[in-house]
Amino acid sequence: MQKRKRAASGLQLKYGIWRIDKVINGKRICRSTGTSEREEAERFLARLIEEDRKASVYGVRPDRTFRTAATHYLNEFAHKKSISCDAQDLEILDPFIGHLELRHIHDGTLSEFKRARKAEGVKSGTVNRSLAVCRQILNLCAKKWRDEYGLTWLETAPMISMVEWNDKRLPYPISWDEQEWLFNALPAHLREACLYKVNTGCRQQEVCQLRWEWEFPIPELKTSVFILPGWITKNGQERVVSLNSIAMAVVNRQRGKNEEFVFTYKGEPVTKLNNTGFKNARKKVGLDGVRIHDLRHTTGRRLRAAGVSNETRKAILGHESGNITTHYSIAEIKELIDAVEKIAIQPSESSPTLTLLRIGGSHANLTREIKKSLSCEAATSISP
């Protein structure tokens, strides 16, 4: 066993790395210096002692890097639903600002990150999400997180500007023909999940994470509904998912495949719908611009075209309404089921209110086309 070497300065060599073991102002500091060089370790310790003196005597904050703050954030908010997405954003940010001290982070030091992401062709919405995580951490450093001296990690949080590249993509609700082309090109397990999604308006994770224990029978209506817990929904509220005849048939076809999850592939739960299988299928049928979330837009458009009220549409799609959505009577549940049943099958083409207006595959002259559509009742919604 390697013999430990203890230096008079409060350093000890352990497994080739100098570690600090020293009492400073009544506090015992035990941490690695991260170096095997004695002189470098002594400089590291001297800096810690000086920072401690400045903090205790003059109220000077120790220098902390953004990487340190990001690590602290991930540990503190490990329970957050979107923490994995936050971790991805922080991983992207790290090469640009991870090494910087918190007081040196501002719009100027983030400009290189913004330029690099734009050059990669990343959408502004994606970049803004990373910037929002950065801004949240800096606000926590300035307002919440405090050290042993009662000092916040950062004196004030800088203003972090979002990017505005005017590249936001408009929703693309698909037509019935496009649905048939796309779904026929999908692998069987994806086709079932997408068919359920377009008939319920559920978000991707609400489909992938769907569990049998969330199903509740409604004997009076000879059907069942799913009640999603708040941790899986976007707004954190419980949500009732009403099933029309198509969605119910999809669910029935999944019974017995897995004891816990409704939608599976080779015995394992489906983790995402926007995968290679979906992307290959949309490319095969010439619908490269269609995203998984557009199926939810399709649900909303079809409900509106079928004359379903805005309030009922919100309840079906799980939009924030201020009400506890699981407090429904049997009559109200029936109203929701009747509403989604209106979009179970393709309506008659003779109905003038159900024609879907396309604008040459682009958004050019969108305002002019909207005004034109409003003047004739041949279209009830416009999509790219």
Supply the DSSP string of 59-83, one letter for each residue.
-PPPP-BHHHHHHHHHHHTTT-TTH
Summarize pLDDT for 65-101 with one digit per residue, the tens.
Answer: 999 999 999 999 998 878 999 999 999 999 999 999 9
Give residues with Cβ within 8 angstroms of 83, minimum separation 6.
74, 77
Summarize pLDDT for 333-347 with one digit per residue, the tens.
Answer: 999 999 999 999 988
pLDDT band at 349 (very low <50, low <70, confident <90, very high): low
Rounded CA separation 268/188 (Å): 15
- pLDDT reported for residue 236: 83
Summarize pLDDT for 48-70 with one digit per residue, the tens.
Answer: 666 666 655 555 567 789 999 99
Tell me the three state secondary structure of residue 5.
strand
Q: Give the burial string for 137-162 (b: 16+ CB within 10 Å, else e).
A: bbbbbbeebeeeeebbbbeebbebee
pTM: predicted TM-score of the whole model, two decimal places: 0.65
- The packing angle between helices 66-76 and 83-97, to 10°, is 170
CA distances in angstroms from 272 to 45, 166, 253, 323, 373, listed in the order given: 48, 28, 20, 29, 36
Rounded CA separation 359/43 (Å): 67
Rounded CA separation 217/222 (Å): 8
Give the range among 149-163, 317-331, 363-377 with minimum mean pLDDT. 363-377
To 10 degrees, the CA torsion angle through 87, 91, 97, 98? 80
Tell me the three state secondary structure of residue 24.
strand
